[in-house]
A and B are shown apart, each in its own frame.
Chain A
């Protein structure tokens, strides 16, 4: 089967994701009114929260694909897991950076060892480790097996990140519910969440294709030397 770098559905999805992301940024920056308590800096929530949700989603996909790989021993699941882990790391870095930028004007510090921030930093370290482990093993089966184990055990930290603001006293605000948020804020958040989800799907399509091509190249090198 031919695997080409060019894909019309992916390119189309990329354009749609770009348009929705642009709309989300415009609405978040200029259309929705400033928060009554925090002022304009709360606009960072429209990118910070979707980045965090997409990091959670990415790592849930890693967990799911790791379980599937260990059951079926099919390298396709491993490729999906690896792709999602890499994208999840990007979203986690973004979450931490945006949180820091929101934290400085509201809390007065760029970083504090608050339970939510600390567990998020641990989550980043786990998945950077997941990607590092993948680079240590040459054998695809061994690599996939090691990665799957880390992908399953490492996911235990993800609910801890989410629940950290409920379990411990923290500077970070607890999760909001749709009833506690003004409708215009909620819709802007949903628009940006949709945009980030489209970006994730687009990146997954491209990244999985890349993983498939790299697998073929690896097979070729292993066969011909």
Chain B
């Protein structure tokens, strides 16, 4: 195969860029999902403690 270096780097870069971007999006997605779940849990806890507190 002539110009093997260009071909290997070209295909390698394609895979690296596409998999790297996919990895980044998935990490951001998991992080956002976790943040939202934690907030929802803290909301639920706040509501439960407000319901359990004796009314004045």
Indicate if the CB atoms of B25 and A217 lie closer than 8 Å. Answer: no
Indicate if the CB atoms of A41 and B3 lie closer than 8 Å. Answer: yes
Q: Which of B1, B21, B30, B35 has the most CB of A within 10 A?
A: B21
User: With a CB–CB cut-off of 8 A, which chain B residues contact A3?
Assistant: 33, 36
Task: Give the contact-size bracket for chain A.
Answer: 35 or more
Indicate if the CB atoms of B21 and A105 lie closer than 8 Å. Answer: no
A102 on interface, CB distance cutoff 8 Å:
yes
Instruction: Name B20's closest neighbour in chain A (CB-CB).
Output: A90
Contacts A101-B10, A102-B10 hold; do A90 and B21 have CB atoms under 8 A apart?
yes
* Complex-state Cα separation, A50 to B34, whole angstroms: 35
**Total number of residue pairs linking A and B with CB closer than 8 Å:** 92
Indicate if the CB atoms of B17 and A41 lie closer than 8 Å. Answer: no
Instruction: Name B32's closest neighbour in chain A (CB-CB).
Output: A213
Q: Which of B7, B22, B29, B35 has the most CB of A within 10 A?
A: B29
B53 on interface, CB distance cutoff 8 Å:
no
Indicate if the CB atoms of B29 and A210 lie closer than 8 Å. Answer: yes
Indicate if the CB atoms of A51 and B14 lie closer than 8 Å. Answer: yes
Task: Give the contact-size bracket for chain B.
Answer: 20 to 34
* Complex-state Cα separation, A104 to B9, whole angstroms: 13
Indicate if the CB atoms of B6 and A217 lie closer than 8 Å. Answer: no
Indicate if the CB atoms of B2 and A39 lie closer than 8 Å. Answer: yes
Q: Which of the 9-residue segments A63-71, A91-99, A143-151 touches chain B?
A: A91-99
Indicate if the CB atoms of A217 and B32 lie closer than 8 Å. Answer: yes
Shortest Cβ distance from residue A111 to the other chain B in the assembled complex, whole angstroms: 15
Indicate if the CB atoms of B36 and A29 lie closer than 8 Å. Answer: no
Chain B residues at the A interface, C-beta cutoff of 8 Å: 1-4, 6-7, 9-11, 13-15, 17-18, 21-22, 25-26, 28-30, 32-36, 39
Name 27 interchain pairs, CB-CB below 8 A, sorted by A. A4-B33, A5-B32, A5-B34, A25-B14, A39-B3, A40-B2, A41-B2, A44-B7, A51-B14, A87-B21, A90-B17, A90-B18, A93-B17, A94-B13, A94-B14, A98-B10, A101-B9, A105-B6, A203-B22, A206-B29, A210-B25, A210-B29, A213-B32, A213-B33, A217-B32, A217-B39, A220-B36
Chain A residues at the B interface, C-beta cutoff of 8 Å: 3-5, 14, 21, 25, 28-29, 34, 39-41, 43-44, 47-48, 51, 87, 90, 93-94, 97-98, 101-102, 104-105, 199, 202-203, 206-207, 209-210, 213-214, 216-217, 220
